[in-house]
Chain A
Amino acid sequence: MDDILKTLTRRSFAASRARNWIAVLAIALTAVLFTAITTIVIGTAESFTLTIQMQKMSQSDGDLRYMTEEQFEALHQADFIDTAGLRMPVAFLTNASRHNIEFNIEDEIQAELTFCVPTHGRTPSAANEVVASDLALRDLGIEPEVGAEIMIAFTAHGQHYTLPMIVSGWYEALNSQMSVLWAGTAFREEHPEIFRYTFSADRELAGTYWSDFTVRSTLNLEKKLRELVFGLGGEPDDMNAPNYMPAVVNQVTNTRPSFFQITATVVFAALFMLCGYLLIYNVFDIAVMQDIRRFGLYRTIGMSRKQVRRLINQQAFWLSCIGIPLGLLVGFFTGKAALPLIMNMVVTEYRHLAADVSPSSALFLTAAALTALTVFCSTRKPIRIAANTPPIDAFRYVENSGGRRASRKSALGTSIPRLAWSNLGRNRQRTAFIMLSLTLCVVLLNCAGTAADSVDVEKETAFMMRTDFAVVNEASTSNFKGFVRRSDALKAKTIADIAARPGITDGSVVYKNTAEDTNVTYDFGHSLTGETYRNDSSGLTFGYDHVYNHYGLGDDGRMICNVYGMAENALARMDLREGETNPHVLYEKMAAGDGILVGVGVNRRDMSFVPMLDLADVGQIITVYKNGTPIMELPILAKAALNGDDQEIGFTVNGPNEIGGDGLFLYLPANIYEKLYEQPTVYKYSFNIEDEYEAEMTAFLEDYMKTTDPSMNYLSAQSARKSSEGTQQMIRFVGGFVGLIFGLAGVLNLINTIITTILTRRQEFAAMESVGMTRRQLTGMMVWEGVYYAAGACLFGLVLAAALNLTLVKSLVDSMWQFTFHFTLLPALGACVVLLLVSAVVPILALRCFRKGSIVEQLRITE
């Protein structure tokens, strides 16, 4: 007997094709929204993880270091380890120039986990075979080619080796600064002296076993690893212990979403559910309204509420069965197509960008579940109305539940626009839903537009760069190095070649002290605790103060600080805040040996000095020591707010961190600096350029870097600007996408309502025509109805957008330093124009499509 109910559901479904397509479209659109966003979110997260994994050169779950052979063998027995690679670091090659080349013994598992599987050729088998990256091979002076001969030079156990090797395979380097050149275990058999384990005695890495591994489950991985290390007889914490064996969990692979990410996901999911709800609810509400008489009949002849609910639920289920898979497919491919675009916009600093997402059950299940939940929520009320409307009331149901007296809405003797206005209140809830979705479209577009417009590209660029170009040694731009040693200097010939180019204005070299300049120290009365440590990278000793700020110390135990020497034009570009703020006067005084300029790191949001870094006051005396003897007493003449460019370059501050640490940033005129330091080292050449030469200079520097001075690197204001513009585009894209979806939801609701109006009021329209209303007037009336919806939404949208701009958006924007609030209503106005046009066109098309036949035929139409 259930068959008849099923038949009824099926045939009712088939009979309402137009309405069902709208419902399918609404469900599909919701599914598209969820799938596209889920695809983008999962894809971005995966791609970002993979990008960083590639950058960090490991996709393992963790790694263990400094093991003996026995410990390495025992590692494989651990039950939670899935796969473990072999890595025996030998040394960094000493005959590499620009690119850092790490020479290891590896197996294929390790190569796979660290992105150095040869993409050309094969893995090494003979003792003299190696696999290297293209960048490594070029740095060693050959083009990547299987079978090519190279020389590798390295030091292990204090012994210098220079060995000829054959390239058995090569791969494309994923990290521009560093890559691995690896040989197989045959090399170890050939050179057993290199692989003597002496780490516990002398910290020699050659001879130690390392392993990148994957695990069966990352649950409690840190705890499991610590237990494993102790089980192997290692010590995971004490760096000085002879059996030191750090167990490192790969935080990139095992990232946990932050509170912000979870909140953003929930907010977006809720927003999309609301959008889907607005859409689907309206579709079902209209469907129920159209069928309410039928439900009344069913109820009269004995259909229970439960059966009515089941009937509509079945229809919703079927519609979902069509709409959801359709939306999942469209959404997935939309998201997949958008992913590279978004990744390119979001991540500008990675050369090797992974931007792909694979269809996964988690992705589709999440999107399908969210869509199904939205359909479920959206259909509750219409179903309740259908099931609970008493049979007789359903028979008499007329869509005018507003409760206002007809006389108040009477349009007799009024104009077409007023007639249209009176029709809007027929279903206030539906009117509200259309208005809400259209309003949200306007508001969201405007919020996104405001946020995007508020990205202060110039502010961010200015923080990274004070000039059009800054040329440095590539060490300054390396995350692994920084400007630390005199060997990291920018070559004089490079500066001369660049300075000879046309269009350069305001060129200036900047000196900076290095790890070798430990005989020049500074005292400004800041006391340290006496606790020290040695920085392996710079070789300097660092001391702490009472708040654990660390300071690079010179030969006499005083601070060496980060000290810069520059010409007046370079100093003039700095942001002088306190004391003498006239750069010319300041420079003159400083050049005469009458004082010094101190730079203080700033809070990027309001560009105020960071109190913790503001260690000295104007007027305070800084005593300069050379070889332990005080040679100058320089009063602080002024204090400047530092940006990235004043410290190193862009956002890279490795160099200052390795030298002066948290000590003062001191700025001296070139003449004083040259007197003070025995070998003044140029770390940067900054310059502006006339506009017409900018592209030419970029091309020149790119070429020069490749062909003449590979140790050089540069940053341009244009590239810094591009990075900032990426953020702007991203906000526009995401905000525009969400706004567009809401707009679509609103327009779909509008279309649905207009079509329903035309279908349900056919007799009424025919009656109007029969008493003299022309088709043109009828069309005009419907156009006015559509325009009223859009105009109302636009009005509310503009007011709400303005209010949100000045409150929520402003407070959000003000909390991020890269933004400067910029009020705009242009996106909202643009959206309004489009919505008004669409709302005028929809009724015209709908009347053409759905209202055919003579007045008499229309009058005869019954439900």
Chain B
Amino acid sequence: MDIVTVQNLKKYFGSGPRQVRAVDGISLSIEKGKLTAVIGASGSGKTTLLNLIGGLYKPTEGTVIIDGVNLGRLQEEELTIFRRRKIGFVFQDCNLVPELTVRENILFPLALDNSRPDMIFFEKLTGLLGLQEKLDDFPYMLSGGGQQCTAIARALIARPAIILADEPTGSFDAKTSQNVAGLLKMTTDTFHQTLIMITHNLELAQLADYVVRLQDGRIVQ
């Protein structure tokens, strides 16, 4: 069953001769529970594609359907709520809220949604990511890997339909990268989450069920 369906997706920036075709007619389907790696050179349109799937950009043309919902038909606030409930984000630089503890950072999306956390799931998740001893720590007290684990937990806590990870290991050394990627893979596998991950690291890409290679805004593989 496809959880993400992208049809003829285009995103152009600017106009005239200076127009940049960041994403130029991409169609793809992503199966539920699978890990899809998006690879490609800088400027190939990876991040734009991810932002389009995440509803952060409005496409110039084409449709994005997630869990049966066409994002193009959602109003701004509906899209925010949809994103809050159905999409988890993991960024390269973690983007944790420095004023909140690890626990609060993880529960933050639920707080925004006024939802009660499933504490069993929370404990299982934090246990899996090795965060149980650090729940009351602030982000600055954690290592880079620890911070990214917190970001992963935050992305997963609402049990979203998909997780979008933009180079989640991009700022780590090789060893930490592997650990973080491994944890990400393990967690999504454990909770049957769909993960779309941008990476430059081919080793990490090999962990994926599917690999999408982009070039000049188009899928080449």
Residues of A within 8 A of B (CB): 1-5, 7-8, 11-12, 14-15, 294, 297-307, 390-392
Residue numbers in A under 8 Å from B112 (CB-CB): 5, 298, 301-304, 307
Q: A12-B99, A392-B51, A392-B56 are in contact. Are A301 and B111 (CB under 8 A)?
A: no
Residue numbers in B under 8 Å from A307 (CB-CB): 112
Interface residue? B32 (CB, 8 A)? no
In this complex, the member of B110, B112, B116, B154 whose beta carbon has the largest number of chain A beta carbons within 10 angstroms is B112
A294 and B96 alpha carbons, distance in the complex (Å):
9
Residue numbers in A under 8 Å from B97 (CB-CB): 8, 294, 297-298
Do B115 and A302 have beta carbons less than 8 Å apart?
no
Interface residue? B107 (CB, 8 A)? yes
Do A1 and B115 have beta carbons less than 8 Å apart?
yes
Interface residue? B100 (CB, 8 A)? yes
Q: How far is the CB of B23 from the nearest CB of chain A, in Å?
A: 14
Do A11 and B89 have beta carbons less than 8 Å apart?
no
Q: A305-B77, A390-B56 are in contact. Are A15 and B84 (CB under 8 A)?
A: no
Question: Which one of B77, B85, B107 contacts A4 once the chains associate, using CB atoms below 8 Å?
Answer: B107
Q: A301-B108, A304-B80 are in contact. Are A8 and B113 (CB under 8 A)?
A: no
Which residues of B106-149 have CB atoms within 8 Å of chain A's CB atoms? 107-116
Interface residue? B57 (CB, 8 A)? yes
Interface residue? B76 (CB, 8 A)? yes
Ranked 9 nearest A-B pairs via Cβ = A302-B84, A11-B99, A4-B111, A1-B111, A392-B56, A297-B95, A304-B80, A302-B112, A303-B112
In this complex, the member of A7, A11, A301, A391 whose beta carbon has the largest number of chain B beta carbons within 10 angstroms is A301
Do A4 and B115 have beta carbons less than 8 Å apart?
no
Q: A2-B114, A302-B84, A307-B112 are in contact. Are A7 and B100 (CB under 8 A)?
A: yes
Do A301 and B77 have beta carbons less than 8 Å apart?
no
Residue numbers in B under 8 Å from A304 (CB-CB): 77, 80-81, 84, 112
Q: A8-B99, A304-B112, A392-B56 are in contact. Are A299 and B104 (CB under 8 A)?
A: no
A7 and B85 alpha carbons, distance in the complex (Å):
22
Question: Which one of A2, A14, A297, A306 contacts B111 once the chains associate, using CB atoms below 8 Å?
Answer: A2
Interface residue? B98 (CB, 8 A)? yes
Which residues of B55-103 have CB atoms within 8 Å of chain A's CB atoms? 56-57, 76-77, 80-81, 83-85, 89, 95, 97-100
Chain A residue nearest in CB terms to B151: A301
Residue numbers in B under 8 Å from A14 (CB-CB): 99
A3 and B108 alpha carbons, distance in the complex (Å):
10
Question: Which one of B76, B83, B100, B110 contacts A305 once the chains associate, using CB atoms below 8 Å?
Answer: B76
Residue numbers in B under 8 Å from A299 (CB-CB): 80
Chain A residue nearest in CB terms to B96: A297
A3 and B104 alpha carbons, distance in the complex (Å):
10
Do A300 and B76 have beta carbons less than 8 Å apart?
no
Residue numbers in A under 8 Å from B110 (CB-CB): 1
B contact residues, range = 20 to 34
Question: Which one of B80, B100, B107 contacts A302 once the chains associate, using CB atoms below 8 Å?
Answer: B80
Do B115 and A8 have beta carbons less than 8 Å apart?
no
Q: How far is the CB of A311 from the nearest CB of chain B, in Å?
A: 10
Chain A residue nearest in CB terms to B108: A4
A1 and B113 alpha carbons, distance in the complex (Å):
8
What are 10 A-B pairs at a CB distance below 8 A?
A4-B100, A8-B97, A298-B97, A301-B84, A301-B109, A302-B84, A304-B80, A307-B112, A392-B51, A392-B56
Q: How far is the CB of A853 from the nearest CB of chain B, in Å?
A: 17
Chain B residue nearest in CB terms to A391: B56
Do A4 and B104 have beta carbons less than 8 Å apart?
yes
Counted as pairs of residues, one from A and one from B, with CB atoms less than 8 Å apart, the total is 75
Do B80 and A303 have beta carbons less than 8 Å apart?
yes
- With A8-B100, A304-B112, A305-B80 given, name 12 new contacts (CB 8 A): A4-B107, A5-B111, A5-B112, A7-B99, A7-B100, A11-B99, A14-B99, A302-B112, A303-B112, A304-B77, A304-B80, A392-B51
A4 and B108 alpha carbons, distance in the complex (Å):
7
Q: A11-B99, A302-B112 are in contact. Are A392 and B57 (CB under 8 A)?
A: yes
Residue numbers in A under 8 Å from B100 (CB-CB): 4, 7-8, 11
Do A3 and B98 have beta carbons less than 8 Å apart?
no
Return the CB mask of B143-163 against A: 1 if under 8 Å, else 0.
Answer: 000000000001000100000
Q: How far is the CB of A310 from the nearest CB of chain B, in Å?
A: 11
Chain B residue nearest in CB terms to A300: B89
Residue numbers in B under 8 Å from A392 (CB-CB): 51, 56-57
A7 and B95 alpha carbons, distance in the complex (Å):
18
A436 and B129 alpha carbons, distance in the complex (Å):
54
Do B89 and A301 have beta carbons less than 8 Å apart?
yes
A304 and B114 alpha carbons, distance in the complex (Å):
12
Residue numbers in B under 8 Å from A303 (CB-CB): 80, 84, 112
Which residues of B148-196 have CB atoms within 8 Å of chain A's CB atoms? 154, 158
Residue numbers in B under 8 Å from A15 (CB-CB): 98-99
Residue numbers in B under 8 Å from A298 (CB-CB): 97, 112
Residue numbers in B under 8 Å from A390 (CB-CB): 56
Chain A residue nearest in CB terms to B104: A4
A391 and B154 alpha carbons, distance in the complex (Å):
18
A15 and B99 alpha carbons, distance in the complex (Å):
7
A735 and B108 alpha carbons, distance in the complex (Å):
51
Do A7 and B116 have beta carbons less than 8 Å apart?
no
Question: Which one of B56, B104, B113 contacts A300 once the chains associate, using CB atoms below 8 Å?
Answer: B56
Residue numbers in B under 8 Å from A1 (CB-CB): 107, 110-111, 113-116
Residue numbers in B under 8 Å from A12 (CB-CB): 99
Q: How far is the CB of A5 from the nearest CB of chain B, in Å?
A: 6
Chain B residue nearest in CB terms to A5: B111
Do A3 and B111 have beta carbons less than 8 Å apart?
yes
Chain A residue nearest in CB terms to B88: A301
A1 and B111 alpha carbons, distance in the complex (Å):
5
Chain A residue nearest in CB terms to B97: A8
A300 and B164 alpha carbons, distance in the complex (Å):
11
A733 and B104 alpha carbons, distance in the complex (Å):
54
Residue numbers in A under 8 Å from B81 (CB-CB): 302, 304
Q: How far is the CB of B168 from the nearest CB of chain A, in Å?
A: 14
A511 and B180 alpha carbons, distance in the complex (Å):
110
Residue numbers in B under 8 Å from A11 (CB-CB): 99-100
A692 and B89 alpha carbons, distance in the complex (Å):
90
Residue numbers in A under 8 Å from B116 (CB-CB): 1
Residue numbers in A under 8 Å from B51 (CB-CB): 392
Residue numbers in A under 8 Å from B99 (CB-CB): 7-8, 11-12, 14-15
Residue numbers in A under 8 Å from B57 (CB-CB): 392
In this complex, the member of A2, A4, A11, A306 whose beta carbon has the largest number of chain B beta carbons within 10 angstroms is A4
Q: How far is the CB of A306 from the nearest CB of chain B, in Å?
A: 8
Q: How far is the CB of B82 from the nearest CB of chain A, in Å?
A: 9
Chain B residue nearest in CB terms to A392: B56
Residue numbers in A under 8 Å from B111 (CB-CB): 1-5
A5 and B107 alpha carbons, distance in the complex (Å):
11
A301 and B112 alpha carbons, distance in the complex (Å):
9
A294 and B91 alpha carbons, distance in the complex (Å):
13
A303 and B85 alpha carbons, distance in the complex (Å):
11
Residue numbers in A under 8 Å from B84 (CB-CB): 301-304
Chain B residue nearest in CB terms to A393: B56
Do A301 and B56 have beta carbons less than 8 Å apart?
no
Q: How far is the CB of A67 from the nearest CB of chain B, in Å?
A: 72
Residue numbers in B under 8 Å from A297 (CB-CB): 95, 97
A304 and B97 alpha carbons, distance in the complex (Å):
16
Residue numbers in A under 8 Å from B77 (CB-CB): 304-306
A392 and B47 alpha carbons, distance in the complex (Å):
11
A459 and B207 alpha carbons, distance in the complex (Å):
95
Do A302 and B113 have beta carbons less than 8 Å apart?
yes
Q: How far is the CB of B87 from the nearest CB of chain A, in Å?
A: 8
